[in-house]
Amino acid sequence: MSKKDIILAGVGGQGILTIATIIGNAAAAAGVNLKQAEVHGMSQRGGDVQSNLRLSTEPIYSDLIQNGSADLIISMEPMEALRYVSCLNNCGWVVSSSVPYKNIPNYPDEQILKEEINTLPRVVTLDIEQIAKDGGTPKSANVVLLGMAARYIEILSTQELRDAIERVFAAKGKKVVDDNLRAFDMGLEAVTEE
């Protein structure tokens, strides 16, 4: 049996639901079972958002990930990544943006946040907004993040995820598809280079 329990985290408006849609589309096309818990939190722009995605080659009976059993946290925001660290299993990975999204007045000190996330045993953080801007795809930071996480998803290949990006964005035209594929590849290559 192969499985992957993923927590998606971020702030409303950052594109967490798009990441979930791409992974879900890839899973469906690959014949992988998928359960997604409803998005928790305030999904309007600026509120915290979290979703559980469970993928398995065997039937899945619950859509919720138990505390201490998540394999992967994919987060658009470092504070949101840290919020769910207790959900990770002993071998779990955190893949997150390194740059805070300061949506609250009492946002924690950036340096302390950075030090805390860097103490995690298995973590990858990059400035996804800057990577997206540098690559000419400023609206695709979320897909850069998905590219960073691709190698840790394992149950789906990078090609299956790329194919899903093409399907998910097809209705928006070739340029949007190409921009998102480029963003995905930039994230993938940024982690491979480390």
In the DSSP assignment, the letter for residue 119 is T
pLDDT for 157: 97
- Quick one: pLDDT at residue 39? 64
What is the structure's pLDDT at 73?
98
Residue with the two structure tokens 């982690």:
191
Domains recognised in the chain with CATH numbers: 3-192 (3.40.920.10)
Among the listed residues 129, 153, 117, 125, the one whose alpha carbon sits nearest the alpha carbon of residue 24: 153
Can you give the pLDDT at residue 193?
54
- Residues 4, 22: Cα–Cα separation, whole Å: 15
Q: What is the pLDDT of residue 49?
A: 83
Are residues 117 and 94 in contact, defined by beta-carbon separation less than 8 angstroms? yes
pLDDT in tens, 62-105: 988 999 999 999 999 999 999 999 999 999 999 999 998 877 77
Which residues of the chain register pLDDT less than 50?
A: 43
Predicted local distance difference test score (pLDDT) of residue 100: 85
Token couple for 131: 């990577």
pLDDT score of 11 = 85
Neighbour tally for 65: CB within 10 Å: 22
- pTM for the whole thing? 0.93
Per DSSP bridges, beta strands 88-97 and 123-126 are: parallel
Determine the pLDDT at residue 5. 97
